[in-house]
C-alpha cells in the first residue's frame, strides 16, 4: 500500500495532506524517515510512525454527529482553546469533517475514516451543506437573490446557492462549497451582519432535534447512505 494511502486509511489525514507530511519528513517506516512520494509499505510487516508515534490501520470505523456549541473550535487541537474533541471525549482518535467557525453552532461530523475525510473535504467533491442564518437587520428579497446568484469574494465568485426565506431576519441557505467564513462574508457584502449561524445538514445527515453540545453515533442507515453518496461524488 502506498504510504500516503496508509496514513489516510489509518485516519491520520487525507492522502494529499499525507503527501505533505511525507515530504516534510514527518513519517518513518521501520525507523527510517521516508520523504519519497509513492513509497510503499507492507501492512503486515512494516512499522509506520507519524511524528514518532506508531500508526496502525483503523479497524473500527466510527462516524459521530455533534451539535457543536458556540465558543469551541472545530479542530483536533488548538492551544488555549476548547475543541470539539473535548466534547466528543472517546478513546478513538477522531477528526472533524470540515469546520464551523468558533461562533457558529450546529452539525459537525467527526470520523476516523480517512477515505471519507478526503472525499468530503476535497474541493472537487461536490456536496450540499445547509445552514439556518439569522441577521441583524431585515434582509430585502433583492439581497437574498444576489447571494443566491453568487457574489464576488476572495478573487472569485461564490457558486449559486439555494436560499429559502424564513422571516424578515432569517433564512436557510444550501451551499455546495466551503470558503472560509463564506456565509458571514456574503451577508457582509449585502450590508448586513450575521447574528446566529447554525448548520443543520451535511449531504443526507440532518441535525434534527439533537441538543446543542450533545453528540451521537450515526445510525447504520445514515452511515450506509452517506458512504454510498460520498462514493459517487466526483464520478
Looking at the domain assignment, is residue 230 inside a domain?
no
Q: Determine the average pLDDT of the residues in 15-33.
A: 91
Residues 8 and 117 in one domain: no
- Domain of residue 43: give its range: 3-55
Residues 107 and 212 in one domain: yes
Looking at the domain assignment, is residue 151 inside a domain?
yes
Residues 40 and 14 in one domain: yes
Residues 211 and 119 in one domain: yes
Options 46, 101, 103, 126, the catalytic residue: 101
Query: Which candidate, 202, 198, 225, 222, places its Cα nearest to that of 212?
Result: 198
Residues 159 and 182 in one domain: yes
Residues 28 and 139 in one domain: no
Instruction: Supply the CATH number for residue 40's domain.
Output: 3.10.290.10
Give yes or no for a contact between 200 and 207, defined as CB atoms under 8 angstroms apart.
yes
Looking at the domain assignment, is residue 97 inside a domain?
yes
User: What are the pLDDT digits (tens) for 160-215?
Assistant: 999 999 999 999 999 988 788 999 999 999 999 999 999 999 989 999 999 999 99
DSSP state of 216: E
Residues 107 and 154 in one domain: no
Looking at the domain assignment, is residue 143 inside a domain?
yes
Looking at the domain assignment, is residue 50 inside a domain?
yes
Query: Is 101 a catalytic site residue?
Result: yes
User: What are the pLDDT digits (tens) for 110-169?
Assistant: 988 877 776 677 666 678 999 999 999 999 999 999 999 999 988 899 999 999 999 999
Residues 16 and 48 in one domain: yes
Which cell goes with 148?
A: 443566491
Separation between Cα atoms, residue 172 and residue 170, nearest integer Å? 7
Put residue 182 in one of left, alpha, beta given phi > 0 → left and psi -120 to 50 → alpha.
Answer: alpha
Residues 215 and 181 in one domain: no
Query: Which candidate, 127, 129, 182, places its Cα nearest to that of 158?
Result: 182
Residues 82 and 184 in one domain: no
Residues 46 and 87 in one domain: no
The predicted structure's pLDDT at residue 234 = 44
Looking at the domain assignment, is residue 44 inside a domain?
yes
- Is the model's pLDDT at 85 over the cut of 50? yes
Q: Determine the average pLDDT of the residues in 73-102.
A: 85
pTM score: 0.76
Looking at the 3D structure of the chain, how many domains does it have?
3
Amino acid at each position: 500500500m502506498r504510504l500516503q494511502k496508509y496514513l489516510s486509511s489509518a485516519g491520520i489525514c487525507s492522502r494529499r495532506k499525507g503527501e505533505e507530511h511525507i515530504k516534510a519528513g514527518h513519517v518513518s517506516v521501520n525507523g527510517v524517515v521516508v520523504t519519497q512520494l509513492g513509497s510503499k509499505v507492507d501492512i503486515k510487516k512494516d512499522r509506520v510512525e507519524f511524528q514518532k508515534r506508531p500508526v496502525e490501520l483503523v479497524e473500527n470505523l466510527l462516524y459521530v454527529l455533534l451539535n457543536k456549541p458556540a465558543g469551541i473550535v472545530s479542530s483536533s487541537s488548538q492551544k488555549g482553546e476548547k475543541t470539539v474533541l473535548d466534547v466528543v471525549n472517546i478513546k478513538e482518535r477522531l477528526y472533524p469533517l470540515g469546520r464551523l467557525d468558533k461562533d457558529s453552532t450546529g452539525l459537525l461530523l467527526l470520523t476516523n475514516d480517512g477515505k471519507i475525510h478526503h472525499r468530503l473535504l476535497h474541493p472537487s467533491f461536490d456536496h450540499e451543506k445547509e445552514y439556518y442564518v439569522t441577521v441583524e437587520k431585515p434582509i430585502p428579497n433583492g439581497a437574498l437573490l444576489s447571494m443566491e446568484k453568487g457574489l464576488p469574494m476572495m478573487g472569485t465568485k461564490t457558486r449559486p446557492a439555494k436560499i429559502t426565506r424564513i422571516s424578515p431576519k432569517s433564512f436557510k441557505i444550501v451551499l455546495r462549497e466551503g470558503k472560509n467564513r463564506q456565509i458571514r462574508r456574503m451577508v457582509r457584502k449585502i450590508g448586513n451582519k450575521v447574528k446566529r449561524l447554525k448548520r443543520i445538514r451535511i449531504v443526507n445527515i440532518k441535525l434534527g432535534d439533537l441538543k446543542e453540545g450533545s453528540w451521537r453515533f450515526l445510525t447504520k442507515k445514515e452511515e450506509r447512505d452517506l458512504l454510498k453518496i460520498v462514493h459517487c461524488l466526483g464520478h
